[in-house]
Amino acid sequence: MDQDPRTTGASVSAQSVNAESENASRTPEQIRSDIEQTREELGDTVAELAAKTDVKARVHDRVEETKQAAREKVEGTKTAAQEKFSDAASKAPPSAQEGAATVIEKIRANPIPLAAGAALLLAFFIGRRSAMP
């Protein structure tokens, strides 16, 4: 009952006869066009399957995606830190800002005491290092 009509020798249905007559009325150019379209689709399918099975390329793509996500996160963190720093600097009392500006101005006006202090400190560390066994 559920046998294939091709193996039992049953008659051909009207639907398959219509499909055959439609194929017979097609021009060779239409057939070539269909063949070319089928080849393109098959080529695309093969390329997609090859891409899915290329584990090395997929891992490389995943690594690149992860790197990019990390870069974006670092950039976001950096921007947030810069914003917080600028907010903190703007919230500092004017006296602290003025005091820092005054110290910098005095050092620029007379750098000799700073240089002398640095030389004294350097001499101390050199002397201490040479005294070590």
**Residue 83 confidence (pLDDT):** 84
Mean pLDDT of the chain: 80
**Residue 37 confidence (pLDDT):** 94
* pLDDT class of 33 with cuts at 50, 70, 90: very high
Condensed to tens digits (0 to 9), the pLDDT of residues 52-96 reads 888 888 888 899 999 999 999 988 888 888 888 787 767 766 677
Under 8 Å between Cβ of 78 and 71: no
Domain ranges of the chain: 93-133
Residue 18 has pLDDT above 60, yes or no: no
Under 8 Å between Cβ of 114 and 107: yes
Rounded distance, CA 13 to CA 19, Å? 10
